[in-house]
Every structure is written in C-alpha cells, then in structure tokens.
Structure 1
C-alpha cells in the first residue's frame, strides 16, 4: 500500500528528523524489537518474519518480557478502529435521537474522565490529534472507555522496554506498508523526540519501515 497518504506521512517524519541532532543510530537490540513490532502487527501478521525476528531479538539480548511487551504494544493497533469511529458514531447516533451528545457528563463519566485523562499532558496532546475521540467514547460506553485505558497500559505495566524504543516501534507501525495512521504517528513522533530520539535513529527507522513485510496473513 504505497498510497499518497502513506508517502506523505513518511516524508513528514523525515522532515521532522532533519532538525534533530545526528546522534547514533538504532542499536541491534532496539532494531530487532522494532522489526518484531512490524512483523507481528495486525497489519502484517507475517508468521515467518515473526519467528525470525523473535530469534534475532533473543540473540541481541532481549528477555521474554521484552518480546512480549513489544507484541502487547503493537496488538493495540486495533484501537485505531475506535479512534477513527467514535466521534462519527456519536454524531450519527445523536442525529437519530439515540443519545444526547451535548448533555453534561454524569457523575460516573466525570469520575472516569478525571481518573484517566484529567490534565495529563500526554492525553491532552493525544486528544488534540484525535479530536472528540475520548469524550465520544466515554459518552457512548464508559465500559469501552475504561477498557481502552486498561489495555493501552499493559506494555507500560510490564515496563521492561525503554519508553523511547516503544514509541519508535509504535511510530514504525503507524507508517508500515499496509497501515497509514497520521493521528497516532504524530503522537508517537512527538513523544519519541521528547524522549531524545535523534536524526539517525529516525532515518534507521524509516529504512526498517520500507523493508517491513506486507500483510501476508495466516492460514
């Protein structure tokens, strides 16, 4: 899927990297985990590549927790279905008279918002890239809202992989050959830069992305 959108996203990442310090490129450990992320993502599911990447990751010093954490991280790509749909669903449901989209949050909804979003800079930036997503999901289904945060937190609860490596892996998956998701890409790129990503790391990442497998599927 070499779409115009995918190409534009990759060019955007390359442009943003130009102003970063050169630094050192990806080390073999981080590279092998990012390759695993690309192979095991739901947008690839390349079984042979997954096996090879797992073996390479262990050879490069990865622990079982490291590998499982990366797989848990990229399994979260499924939430992009929520991100792309919730604001639209709320709008259409409101037009059908199924929900009041402008009603004040209930006490339960407000409690959940304060607990999971509040004034956290990460989620404020996230909402900026995904306007109305979190609020819409909360109004439609507090259960789904809570589950979203619980699932997204799993890789961070395992906590065995550096935050920068996780952000780079997520960034790679958002511009993989069979996936182009700008809202997530911009969030993960901003986070990676904030965590100290340098130009050579981003350049290496772009090379990994262009070599990533297409969606082969599993019989």
Structure 2
C-alpha cells in the first residue's frame, strides 16, 4: 500500500535541487484547499463551503473558483487510466487481435488529431504506459471525450498553468486518492513551470490534511 510518507519521501527527493522560491499566496492556498475537499475522493461538503468562502475572501474570482471544480472533476479519468490498460492487458492475454492490430482509419485519424508527434504526451506515456492506445482501441468515443473534457479548464484559463499543476498534484496526493502516476507527472510539470520547493511542499501539506470521504446525504 502506498503511504503518505512514501509520497513525501518521493517529493523531497525530486525537489532536492529545486530552489525554495516563493510560498503560496493566501488565495492559491485556499484554492488548493478547495480542490482536495471537493474532489471525488473526498466530497467534503462543509470543507468545500468553507474553502469557497476562503478563496473568495482572499481575492479569487468566481470564475477561478469554478475552474477548480472543472479541473478536479477530471479526476475520473484515472479510472480510464488504470482500467483501460488493465482490460487491454487481459484481452491481449486472451489473444484478442483488436487490441494489437493496426489502427483502423477512424482511430488513426483520432490519434493523429489529438496525439500525433506532440512531445507533451510522452510524459503521460511514461507515467501510464499504453493508456492512450488502450483507450483509443476500446472506445474512440471515450478517447475523444477525454481530450475534449480535460482541455476545458485550459481553454477557459481563469487559473494560471502553475496553479493548475499544483491543484492536480495536491488532489493526486490526497489521503483518499494517492495516485502516484499523476503526482509524478504534475510534480515535474510544476517544477518545469518554475514553481519552487516551498510552494510545492505547502501544496502537499494541504493535501495531506484533506479528510477521507465522508459521504453525501
């Protein structure tokens, strides 16, 4: 079982040569706090209400607050990341040729349109090997929807890219989720965008304080 201590040890090692940088602003901390409480793995209603108020009081706009919700709602794609690759591996074991045959024209067109030669997707392939190919082969509709939905908070762009990465990092590190493939990806992205050690460790501390899922009545 992956523990919070192991997550912290990995992050500390990754950040060993990263400069301290600036701490989180009050607004950014509140938005990250909102993210880990509104995520599907927590759904802490009282915490969500509290952190919406904190974020607005700290100067966040309504558009920024709502973009957190849209961004975090994409956490459901982790079901596809883990599940699609698992199903594909089992189908391959059973000799299902559809899982390894050349792509048909529709699937090839979708691959060229959404992935192509863009190096951005190389990092995802490193963290969740075979996911995009498995998803495309099993459901072209879900493949296209994955790209379209996950792109929404990047198109509306109420939050800057560095904060989206910190939010994603925190949600992946939260006690009820602990999704290392995403954490490794977003940690690297945050550092690449210039986020310092202090802000990243603060985001992880906020994540570690998130409650377990309490249920919604």
Q: TM-score, normalised by structure 2?
A: 0.95
- Cα separation, 1, equivalents of 2:208 and 2:106: 45
Q: How many residues align?
A: 217
CA displacement at 1:25 relative to structure 2? 0.4
**Which residue number in structure 1 is paired with residue 106 of structure 2?**
108
CA displacement at 1:92 relative to structure 2? 2.1
Within the candidate set 52, 59, 62, 1:61 is matched to 59
- Cα separation, 2, equivalents of 1:173 and 1:195: 18
Matched, 1:213 2:211: yes
Question: Which has the bigger relative contact order, CA under 8 A and spacing at least 6?
Answer: 1
Kept in 2, the 8 Å contact 1:117–1:124? The answer is no
Kept in 2, the 8 Å contact 1:37–1:70? The answer is yes
**Which residue number in structure 2 is paired with residue 173 of structure 1?**
171
- Cα separation, 1, equivalents of 2:32 and 2:93: 43
RMSD of aligned residue pairs (Cα, Å)? 1.4
Alpha-carbon displacement from aligned partner over 1:109-162 (angstroms, at most 9, x marks no partner): 111111111122221111111111000110111001001111111111110101
**Which residue number in structure 1 is paired with residue 134 of structure 2?**
136
- Cα separation, 2, equivalents of 1:79 and 1:118: 20
**Which residue number in structure 2 is paired with residue 119 of structure 1?**
117
Q: TM-score, normalised by structure 1?
A: 0.94
**Which residue number in structure 1 is paired with residue 29 of structure 2?**
31
- Cα separation, 1, equivalents of 2:2 and 2:106: 43
- Cα separation, 1, equivalents of 2:173 and 2:205: 11
- Cα separation, 1, equivalents of 2:10 and 2:173: 11
Deviates more, 1:99-108 or 1:70-79: 99-108
- Cα separation, 1, equivalents of 2:97 and 2:216: 40
- Cα separation, 1, equivalents of 2:99 and 2:205: 44
- Cα separation, 1, equivalents of 2:11 and 2:196: 12
Matched, 1:160 2:162: no
Alpha-carbon displacement from aligned partner over 1:37-80 (angstroms, at most 9, x marks no partner): 00100011000000000011111111111011111111111110
**Long gaps (5+) in structure 2:** none
Within the candidate set 77, 80, 83, 1:82 is matched to 80
Kept in 2, the 8 Å contact 1:14–1:202? The answer is no
